[in-house]
């Protein structure tokens, strides 16, 4: 898929909308079971979004979590941009690029939820491969909606998981999977995006759920 080149006038709107979607709308709409297709940044369920509901933990078992739980409740990524008139930015206006850089900085430094550090979790998402060997993915990013980091800008760091499975997984880019393992609040920079969380995955399995 070829992405059309955007002018500086359009880019601020696109980046801000993606920033807000990744940090708020996508997380809030994402229930325990995402849809593996027909998803967007603002509607990751690909249909009528179900209200998020945290799954009850079973003693000795990983806790199934939602993407919303990864975002601190008091974080407002739009706070620094409120009151700005983006429509006033003309093509080639250097303020447009400055604003884009500021938005990217806010996104890359999105705070993580310290309460999730060290928790054994199970979470569904889409694969963005980073390393492959012998037809298997050995390192990847897990993202909450289809196309993130590949066809659209990456979501905020607190909505990206850096996953290293214990053994290679036979999946391709944007396949939908369940990831199970210990979650850590550990930042990682990659060419595909900045992740705020790391998972040493005990299991990476094919997604079997669906939108509710």
Q: Give tens-digit pLDDT for 111-165.
A: 999 999 999 999 999 999 999 999 999 999 999 999 888 888 899 999 999 999 9
The pLDDT assigned to 102 comes to: 83
Q: CA–CA distance from 98 to each of 76, 92, 103, 111, 146 (Å)?
A: 20, 11, 9, 22, 28
Angle subtended at Cα 58 by Cα 53 and Cα 61, rounded to the nearest 5 degrees: 110
Q: Where are the alpha helices (DSSP H) in 76-149?
A: 94-108
Distance CA 172, CA 61 (A): 27
Q: Who has greater pLDDT, 1 or 211?
A: 211
Q: Who has greater pLDDT, 57 or 90?
A: 90
| Least confident residue range of 64-68, 148-152, 164-168, 192-196 | 148-152
Mention every residue, 6+ apart, whose C-beta is less than 8 A from residue 98. none
pLDDT tens readout for residues 9-21: 334 444 444 444 4
Q: Is the pLDDT score of 35 beyond 50?
A: no
Residue with tokens 């739009």: 78
Q: Work out the pLDDT band at 196, boundaries 50, 70, 90.
A: very high
Q: Work out the pLDDT band at 108, boundaries 50, 70, 90.
A: very high
The pLDDT assigned to 44 comes to: 44
The pLDDT assigned to 63 comes to: 94
The pLDDT assigned to 43 comes to: 42
Q: Who has greater pLDDT, 162 or 103?
A: 162
The pLDDT assigned to 53 comes to: 46
Q: Which two tokens stand for residue 68?
A: 């919303």
Mention every residue, 6+ apart, whose C-beta is less than 8 A from residue 179. 122, 123, 124, 125, 142, 161, 163, 199, 201, 203, 204
The pLDDT assigned to 90 comes to: 67
Q: Is the pLDDT score of 78 beyond 90?
A: no
Average per-residue pLDDT in the chain? 76
């Amino acid at each position: 898929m070829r992405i059309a080149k955007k002018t500086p006038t359009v880019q601020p709107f696109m980046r801000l909308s993606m920033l807000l979607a990744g940090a708020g709308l996508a997380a809030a709409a994402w229930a325990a079971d995402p849809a593996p297709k027909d998803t967007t940044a603002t509607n990751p369920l690909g249909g009528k979004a179900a209200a998020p509901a945290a799954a009850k933990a079973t003693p000795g078992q990983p806790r199934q979590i939602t993407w919303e739980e990864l975002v601190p409740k008091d974080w407002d990524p739009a706070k620094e941009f409120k009151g700005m008139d983006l429509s006033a930015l003309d093509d080639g206006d250097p303020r447009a690029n400055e604003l884009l850089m500021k938005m990217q900085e806010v996104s890359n430094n999105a705070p993580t939820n310290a309460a999730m550090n060290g928790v054994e979790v199970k979470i569904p998402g889409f694969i963005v491969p980073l390393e492959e060997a012998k037809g298997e993915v050995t390192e990847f990013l897990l993202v909450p909606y289809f196309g993130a980091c590949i066809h659209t800008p990456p979501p905020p760091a607190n909505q990206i998981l850096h996953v290293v499975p214990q053994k290679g997984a036979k999946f391709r880019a944007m396949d939908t999977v369940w990831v199970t393992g210990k979650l850590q609040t550990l930042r990682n920079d990659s060419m595909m995006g900045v992740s705020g969380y790391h998972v040493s995955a005990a299991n990476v399995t094919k997604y079997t759920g669906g939108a509710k």
